[in-house]
Amino acid sequence: MDMNRRRLIGGSVAGALAMSPDAARAAPLTATLGRDVTQYGVRPGSPDDQTAKLQRAIDEAARAQVPLALPPGVYRTGMLRLSSGTQLVGVRGATKFVFSGGASMLQSEGGSSVGLTGISFDGGKIPLPERRGLVHCLGGHDVRIVDCEISDSGGNGIWLEQVSGDVSGNILTRIETTAVVSFDAKGLIVSRNTINGTNDNGIEILRTSIGDDGTLVLDNRIDDIKAGPGGSGQHGNAINTFRAGNVIVRGNRIKNCDYSAVRGNSASNIHIADNSVSNVREVALYSEFAFEAALIANNTVDGAAVGVSVCNFNEGGRIAVVQGNIIRNLLPKRPIGTAPDDDAGIGIYVEADSTVTGNVVENAPSFGIIAGWGKYLRDVAITGNVIRNAFVGVGVSVMPGAGTALVNNNMISETPRGAVVGLDHARTITTDLSAEGAQRYAQLVVGGNAVRR
């Protein structure tokens, strides 16, 4: 047989050109990634439930420590269990699992080095039990969920407990509760995901008790987050951290949330930086309750009831740097369900051991910046900010027991009720303290501000 190099190459090209589009897309998977799921009798596009055959294929590929390739098509399945080493690889946008019912679609318990790549998971809006995700992973090391799509989950999208790994590049839409939940992470990255349409929160980083967590929440797009269960702030947040220390929330694009863009509750050493936020209806960037140290820097907020709140000194909340943020177009009211005495229309609010510097606040129906709540004020410096078009520029508590505040070298303009005023909680009780001859308070230093009335 006369088979030279030119004929061999020509034959290979001709064969590739003659291959069907689906086969062409599947070819790299089956050629380079170990087992093909169809070897186990699984049929892409079959109307039958294929749970048992899929489970056998997953188990055998995991035992052999090779990936399992899933060619394009629809796979109807109930709950599948993922052991250590399971690697499921699909064709992004073409490989789709459709849920037929169960506690979750995929569950891993203690499974390490589990990977899901390029697969769409359709939950069919089938209700899940509480504290369950369509993808549910407990106690795993190096779990990676990458470039997948999760839609119409009747519970949470992804639920993780005591997991380390990477949840990145996924699309999560129409999720009945929260898109991504992590409890007690062991070293987790949640990045570059698109989350659109949840009925609770977008991303939750939680711990069962206060402690170090260190999860990185980076560069996600989060939109349309509803507070379906109601409440006064537990729900309706794009990113919610609770008891989780040393979490970094950076570079996220967040819009259209019933409550907050980023809410840190008892979350010490939180970094909230370089996020773009618009159209949220309560506090945009929140650090509250029992925390120590919050960095809130270089964010933009366009549309919120309060731009930044660093509060609850009465619960031990203290130490913050609020720097370089642009906050504008504040709303005059908070959502129904919050406490009736909660103010709105405020750019920045702080209480204890904090500096507020280099921020721009514009269009605040109430206050540009507030320091303190009654006696809950200690060691706050407000310097080098620009405040314009606010009813009051800076309000500082002057109640008995309140600590020291410095209001110095700010640019304050178009503030009809005063550039700097003293407060009894939310009530203004002094004239403009920046004016010549104004009353002085021993704990309050006001000077060097450029005021244009």
In a domain, 61, yes or no: no
In a domain, 207, yes or no: yes
Residues 351 and 313 sit within 8 Å (Cβ to Cβ): yes
In a domain, 193, yes or no: yes
**Residue 341 binned pLDDT confidence (cut-offs 50, 70, 90):** low
Q: Which of 26-30, 129-133, 164-168 has the lowest mean pLDDT?
A: 26-30
In a domain, 81, yes or no: no
In a domain, 9, yes or no: no
CA distance 348 to 248: 20
CATH number of the domain bearing residue 402: 2.160.20
CA distance 158 to 226: 18
409-444 residue pLDDT tens = 999 999 999 999 999 999 999 999 999 989 999 999
* Token pair for 75: 């796979």
pLDDT(145) > 50: yes
Helices (H), 223-376: none
CA distance 91 to 362: 48
Residues 261 and 277 sit within 8 Å (Cβ to Cβ): yes
Q: What is the DSSP string of 163-189?
A: -EEEEES-EEEEESS-SEEEES-SEEE
Give the model's pLDDT for residue 453: 80
Helices (H), 99-231: none
> 326-330 and 352-357: which strand pairing?
unpaired
32-86 residue pLDDT tens = 558 999 999 999 999 999 999 999 999 999 999 999 999 999 999 999 999 999 9
Give the model's pLDDT for residue 340: 61
In a domain, 66, yes or no: no
pLDDT(356) > 70: yes
Distances from the Cα of 19 to the Cα of 12, 15, 23, 28, angstroms: 11, 6, 6, 13
239-298 residue pLDDT tens = 999 999 999 999 999 999 999 999 999 999 999 999 999 999 999 999 999 999 999 999
In a domain, 32, yes or no: no
pLDDT(25) > 50: no
3-state secondary structure of 23: helix
Give the model's pLDDT for residue 342: 73
Range of the domain at 147: 87-452
Give mean pLDDT, residues 361-383.
98
The pTM is what?
Answer: 0.92
177 Rama sector, left if φ>0, alpha if ψ -120 to 50, beta otherwise: alpha
What percent of the chain shows pLDDT beyond 70?
92
Number of domains observed in the structure of the chain: 1
Residues 428 and 395 sit within 8 Å (Cβ to Cβ): yes
**Residue 12 binned pLDDT confidence (cut-offs 50, 70, 90):** very low
In a domain, 17, yes or no: no
